[in-house]
Amino acid sequence: MPDRNRRIGGTDRTGWWAIALLGLVLVSQYGAGWYAVQLSRQSNEAELGDHLADLGRLAAPKLRDAALSLADLALDATWSGANPGVEEAPNTPRRPDLSLYLAELDEVHSRPFDDFAARAGLARLVVLNEDGLILYDTSGGDRLLQPFESWRIDQFELERALAGEAVASFAYSTDEDAFKRHYEPITEQVGEDETEVRAILSLAADRAYLASIESRARRLRRVGLIMVALILTVGLIIYRLIARQRRIERRAAEADRLAALGTLAAGFAHELRNPLGIIRAFTEDLDRGLRDRGGDGEAIGACGEIVEEIDRMDRIVGQFLSYSRESGEGPESGRAAVLPAIQSVCSILRPSAEKRGISLQMDLLGSAPRADHGYVGVETGRLKQVLMNLVLNAIEASPEGETVRLEVTTAAREVEIRVKDNGPGVTPADASRIFEPFFTKRPGGSGLGLAISRQIAERAGGRLELEKASVDGGSCFLLSLACVPASHGDAARATDPKPAPDIKQHVWIGKGEP
């Protein structure tokens, strides 16, 4: 038995390890998906950068003369717009005169850039001078001779371009726009072995170029979500399998315990009941002898108490044998009418309830079963045994003046019987043990009534469970049994042709309506 308990405890720990492993897999899946998206983005961005670099190498010789012409125009406009006779500080940057620059700028200067941007499918082609001023912009002329708006953002790349190196900026995107720029320097020979950068071509690709990057990222995200959903599904299946394995192992442990009890039951009953029978017989003889001779009343009372205790021990032995036999039997068979069984049990227990000042009430909820239709797949005596245990426990737990309620609800395939009391309730700690054999908090109880009742319900394909466990709100036990069709004989004996009402009914049994 300790080995079995260790196995169950190990299974519990396995469940927690499985949940932790599932969480680790999900985190790993998310990290792998994010890494794949980044790699894809970097790969596509590198491909786009190579494409823009190829366009830049193609644009440099084609647009070199036009770009140098624009640089010369800006230079001429700068010196022509200088104030004569005004001495300026050294290294003071000069800005070309826009009116003079526009006067010289014509279609001959701008057409090569517009044609190349259109053929290459660029979003924008900008010509910059070495001071970062816009000499020409294919997207519009309203910013001519103004500082390039991305000069500070791409300062590092522009400095490399001024040093004569073709370089691309990182791609960036927002909800409204997306860009990647390539800077191609335009140089001019200034000496026998010396060149200088006179202009920079900025080739910009927009969302049309970046669509492949964004669409691949979206696809990878969708695949990631699908994988997460699949992993969660597999994890749920594994969890349910583990939970099922835990239930099987618990039942196996209980079966082992019951098998051991069954092995000991016969010998235990024989060894105990025979001496108890002998003691009871001698005690009864002693009691009769004392009464015949007018013996001491205290001794006669002691004999009666001895007989009562022997009877109690005999009942415990009988319950123990019944519990052991239940574990070895197959599924329940038979048919029982629900309402007659409940009414019979309540009639039997009515005197006990009245002695304690308790009322018994049966509530028919929803479409309540008729006497000719409300049948469940368990033998009538077994059903009464279960109901007797539940109602007796509720009576003994209820304070004087309270009501024990039996609520009967019939669904399409099962009948639910709830036994409710307003007693002190069951503590959460005891709720997990009340169906264990020999566990009881009631003085004089054997702790086998609920265990036997659950066995009967489960063998009939139903269930018996504590539906409500509270230290201040009473208790509610739920007995659920599958419905079975009535036999022809049962239907022929039915005397009430009226359909069951669909409203709540109260049937008082016991002290009468309060």
pLDDT of residue 177: 62
- The percentage of the chain sitting over the pLDDT mark of 90, rounded to a whole number, equals 5
Instruction: Look at residue 472 and tell me whether its pLDDT is greater than 70.
Output: no
Q: Give the chain's radius of gyration (CA, Å).
A: 47
393-432 in b/e form (b: 16+ CB < 10 A) is bbbbbbeeebbbbbbbbbeeeebbbbbbbbbbbbeeeebe
Extract the tokens encoding 230: 């699949």
343 plus 478 within the same structural domain: yes
Instruction: Look at residue 52 and tell me whether its pLDDT is greater than 60.
Output: yes
352 plus 205 within the same structural domain: no
Q: Give the mean pLDDT of 366-373.
A: 51
pLDDT of residue 128: 92
368 phi and psi angles, rounded to 5 deg: -70, 150
The boundaries of the domain holding residue 403 are 336-509
Nearest partner of 114 among 50, 211, 106, judged by Cα: 106
pLDDT of residue 93: 61
Q: pTM to 2 decimals?
A: 0.44
Instruction: Look at residue 393 and tell me whether its pLDDT is greater than 70.
Output: yes
> Which of 72-81, 102-111, 316-325 has the highest average model confidence (pLDDT)?
102-111
Instruction: Look at residue 15 and tell me whether its pLDDT is greater than 80.
Output: no
40: helix, coil or strand? helix
Instruction: Sort strands 359-365 and 403-410 into parallel, antiparallel or unpaired.
Output: parallel
Give a yes or no: residue 285 inside a domain: no
Read off the DSSP letter of residue 148.
P
Q: Give the least confident one: 91-95, 242-246, 452-456, 484-488.
A: 91-95
Give a yes or no: residue 224 inside a domain: no
129 phi and psi angles, rounded to 5 deg: -95, 180
Give a yes or no: residue 182 inside a domain: yes
Give a yes or no: residue 226 inside a domain: no
Q: Give the mean pLDDT of 234-255.
A: 79
Q: Give the mean pLDDT of 187-205.
A: 85
pLDDT of residue 410: 81
* pLDDT greater at residue 171 or residue 100: 100
pLDDT of residue 325: 60
Extract the tokens encoding 234: 């597999």
Extract the tokens encoding 315: 């009942």
Give a yes or no: residue 90 inside a domain: no
Read off the DSSP letter of residue 147.
B
Mean pLDDT for the chain overall: 76
Q: Residue 197: which CATH number?
A: 3.30.450.20
162: helix, coil or strand? helix
- Rounded CA-CA distance 168/124 in Å is 14
Give a yes or no: residue 258 inside a domain: no
Nearest partner of 204 among 183, 175, 177, 174, judged by Cα: 183
**What are the tens digits of pLDDT across the range 284-315?**
888 888 888 877 778 888 888 888 878 877 77
Q: Final residue of a domain: which of 216, 234, 266? A: 216
Instruction: Look at residue 175 and tell me whether its pLDDT is greater than 80.
Output: no
Instruction: Look at residue 484 and tell me whether its pLDDT is greater than 50.
Output: yes
Give a yes or no: residue 274 inside a domain: no
Q: How many domains does the chain have?
A: 2
* β-bridge mates for residue 420, sequence order: 405, 476
Q: Residue 470: which CATH number?
A: 3.30.565.10
Sign of CA pseudo-dihedral 51, 54, 58, 64:
positive
**Alpha helical stretches, state H, 81-127:** 98-104, 107-120
- The percentage of the chain sitting over the pLDDT mark of 70, rounded to a whole number, equals 71
Read off the DSSP letter of residue 133.
B
Instruction: Look at residue 160 and tell me whether its pLDDT is greater than 80.
Output: yes
404 phi and psi angles, rounded to 5 deg: -95, 125
pLDDT-derived band of residue 145, with 50, 70 and 90 as boundaries?
confident
* pLDDT greater at residue 146 or residue 448: 146
Find the length of the chain: 514
Q: What angle do CA 61, 197, 73 make, to 5 degrees?
A: 80
Q: Final residue of a domain: which of 188, 216, 244? A: 216
Give a yes or no: residue 118 inside a domain: yes
CA distances to 20, 351, 463, 511 from 346, in Å: 51, 9, 21, 12
Extract the tokens encoding 204: 């910009």
Q: Give the mean pLDDT of 348-360.
A: 88
pLDDT of residue 201: 92
Nearest partner of 144 among 136, 153, 155, judged by Cα: 136
157 plus 12 within the same structural domain: yes
Q: Final residue of a domain: which of 216, 237, 261? A: 216
- Rounded CA-CA distance 450/375 in Å is 22
